[in-house]
């Protein structure tokens, strides 16, 4: 018969395995925390890029529309909102921003008030589908889909109080004043 040893070789092995298990669990927790931190940084950067792109695109459209006389006969009229579609042609493909966006613009004329033109902009992230623009504004909850919703009023009146921005000959007074009524980012 063999004699049993009264040593602690087995206990040392069990303790070594327990330390390895605890160490690997701590390492897994640190790796998981690092992955979460990296993903949070990436998502925060993507959200900031989208916000920057939406703001930049909206400002470009505002500047294009502010000093430009709009010939209403060349703009399509939305009969439900009684607003003209002033979405720039080929604008969405030509904007050089980090995150591509689409811009939908509607313009209403309000002669006789200090704000003679009111622009309503909806800016959404581009989805590269043929319906990207209509997806941005084509629902009842368009403001929820848009990453930026803005409303800007232009004052097209001359110093004499006459609406002078009424044709190509007197377009010099288009956009003499501007008021941002709403600028909401999501």
CA distances from 60 to 57, 105, 120, 149 (A): 5, 12, 14, 14
For 63-76, the DSSP string reads: HHHHT----GGGS-
Ranges of each domain in the chain = 47-185
How much is the pTM? Answer: 0.67
- Say whether pLDDT at 90 is over 60: no
**What local confidence, expressed as pLDDT, does residue 151 receive?**
92
Which of 165, 168, 159, 135 minimizes the C-alpha distance to 66?
A: 165
CA distance 138 to 147: 14
Q: Where are the beta strands (DSSP E) in 1-147?
A: 77-78, 83-85, 101-109, 117-125
Structure confidence by residue, pLDDT tens digits, 69-80? 777 777 777 777
């Amino acid at each position: 018969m063999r004699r049993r040893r009264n040593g602690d070789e087995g206990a040392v092995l069990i303790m070594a395995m327990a330390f390895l298990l605890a160490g690997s669990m701590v390492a897994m927790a640190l790796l998981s925390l690092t992955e979460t931190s990296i993903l949070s940084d990436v998502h925060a950067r993507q959200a900031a890029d989208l916000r920057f792109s939406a703001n930049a695109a909206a400002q470009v459209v505002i500047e294009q529309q502010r000093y430009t006389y709009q010939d209403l006969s060349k703009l399509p009229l939305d009969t439900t909102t009684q607003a003209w579609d002033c979405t720039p042609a080929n604008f969405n493909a030509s904007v050089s921003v980090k995150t591509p966006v689409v811009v939908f613009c509607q313009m209403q004329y309000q002669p006789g008030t200090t704000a003679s033109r009111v622009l309503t902009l909806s800016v959404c992230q581009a989805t590269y589908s043929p319906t990207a623009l209509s997806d941005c504004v084509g629902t009842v909850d368009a403001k929820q889909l848009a990453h930026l919703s803005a409303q800007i009023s232009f004052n097209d009146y001359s110093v004499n109080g006459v609406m002078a921005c009424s044709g190509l000959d007197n377009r010099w007074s288009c956009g003499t004043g501007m008021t941002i009524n709403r600028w909401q980012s999501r």
